Amino acid sequence: MAQQATMEEAHAQHPAATAGSRAVRALTRPRVLRSLISLVIVLGGWELVGQFVLTNKLFFVPLSDVLRALVELWEKGELQRHIGASFKAIGYGMALAIVIGVAFGIVMGASRTVADYTEVYLNALYSTPLVAIAPLLILWLGIGIASKIAVVFLISVFPIVISTASGVRNVEHHYLDVARAFGATRNQIVAKVMIPAALPFVLTGVRLAIGRAIVGVVVGELFGANAGLGYLIYTSGQTFDVPSLFAGVLCLAFAGVSLTWMLQKLEARLVRWKPAPLED
C-alpha cells in the first residue's frame, strides 16, 4: 500500500511525465506505428523523387520545396486566409448536411411510405454529377461563402441520408421484438432502438461525406472565389507556382485525414458496444 501511495504521489507530482508515457504508448501501438512507418516512407520517397528523378520544377517539386512554400504563405498570412475560407464553408455545409441528412434518413428508413415517394429521386440525385451544377450555384448565390456551402451540402448530404436509412432498416429483429414485448410505442422504438442501433451507419455516412465535402469546396472555389485552398490551387497552377499548388493539396489531404481520425475517435466513444476490430 505504501508503495502504491508513493507511485500515485510521483504521478501527481509529474503529470507531464505521465502524459508523455501515455503518448509513447499510443505511438508504439501496432496500428499507429505502421501508419507512421508508411508515412515516413511516402514522404521520403516524395523528396527523393523530386530531388533525383523528376527534377523539372514545372511538373514536380520535392517535399522540402512544398514545406518552404507553406512557411512562406503562413508568414505572409495568405495560408491562414485560405484555410479559414475553405473550412468555414466545409463546417457550415457539413453541419447542415448532418442535421438534414440524419433527420431525413431516419424518416426514410423508418417509414416505407416516405421511402416509396422519395427513394427514386434520392438515387437519381446521388448518381448525378452535382459538381456540374456548381457554376449555376455560383451564378445564383455569387462567389461568396453561400455558394460554397451549397456545393458542400449537396455533395455531402446523400451519403449521410443513404447510410442512415440503411442503418435504421437493418436493425436486428430481436431488438424490435424485445421493445414491442415491453409495450414500446412506434415513436419509442424509433428513438430508443432504431436510432442508437443505426449510429455506426450514421457515422460511416459522415466519414464518407467528409471526403466529398472537401472535394465540393475545392470545386466551388475553382469555379469562382477570391479565397480558399481551391482558389490557391487554381491560381498557383495558372502561374506555374508548383510548390504553392502542392501546399494547397497537402493542406486538404491533412484536413481529410485529421477529420476522419477525429470522427473515428468519436465513434469509439459513442459506439462502445460495437465489436472492436482485430489487432494483429
How far apart are alpha carbons 28 and 18 in whole angstroms? 16
Contact 11, 28 (CB under 8 A): no
Quote the pLDDT of residue 157.
Answer: 93
The confidence band for 81, taking pLDDT boundaries of 50, 70 and 90, is very high
Q: Helix crossing, 15-27 with 2-13: angle to 10°?
A: 90
What integer is the mean pLDDT of 165-171? 86
How many C-beta atoms lie closer than 10 Å to residue 273's C-beta?
A: 9
Quote the pLDDT of residue 14.
Answer: 55
Quote the pLDDT of residue 142.
Answer: 80
Is the pLDDT confidence value at 271 over 80? Answer: no
Lowest mean pLDDT: which of 9-18, 98-107, 199-208, 231-240?
A: 9-18
All three cell numbers of 184: 414500446
Q: pLDDT tens digits, residue range 23-70?
A: 556 556 677 788 788 888 988 998 898 888 888 887 888 999 999 999
> Higher model confidence: residue 224 or residue 203?
203
Is the pLDDT confidence value at 279 over 70? Answer: no
Domain ranges for the chain: 2-53, 63-270
Quote the pLDDT of residue 276.
Answer: 53
The confidence band for 91, taking pLDDT boundaries of 50, 70 and 90, is very high
Lowest mean pLDDT: which of 3-12, 72-81, 146-155?
A: 3-12
Is the pLDDT confidence value at 160 over 90? Answer: yes
Sign (positive/negative) of CA torsion 255, 261, 262, 266?
positive
Q: Please state, for a pLDDT cut of 70, what percent of the chain lies above it.
A: 86
How far apart are alpha carbons 140 and 98 in whole angstroms? 24
Quote the pLDDT of residue 1.
Answer: 46
Quote the pLDDT of residue 22.
Answer: 62
Is the pLDDT confidence value at 95 over 90? Answer: yes
CA distances, 75 to each of 67, 126, 231, 251 (Å): 12, 41, 19, 16
Amino acid at 48: L
Is the pLDDT confidence value at 172 over 60? Answer: yes
Quote the pLDDT of residue 278.
Answer: 47
How many C-beta atoms lie closer than 10 Å to residue 194's C-beta?
A: 21
CATH architecture assigned to 63-270: Orthogonal Bundle (1.10)
Q: What is the DSSP string of 23-84?
A: HHHHHTSHHHHHHHHHHHHHHHHHHHIIIII---TTT---HHHHHHHHHHHHHHTHHHHHHH
* Helix segments in 224-241, DSSP class H: 229-238
> Taking all residues of the chain, what is their mean pLDDT, rounded to a whole number?
82
pTM of the entire predicted model: 0.79
User: First and final CA of the chain: distance in angstroms?
Assistant: 36
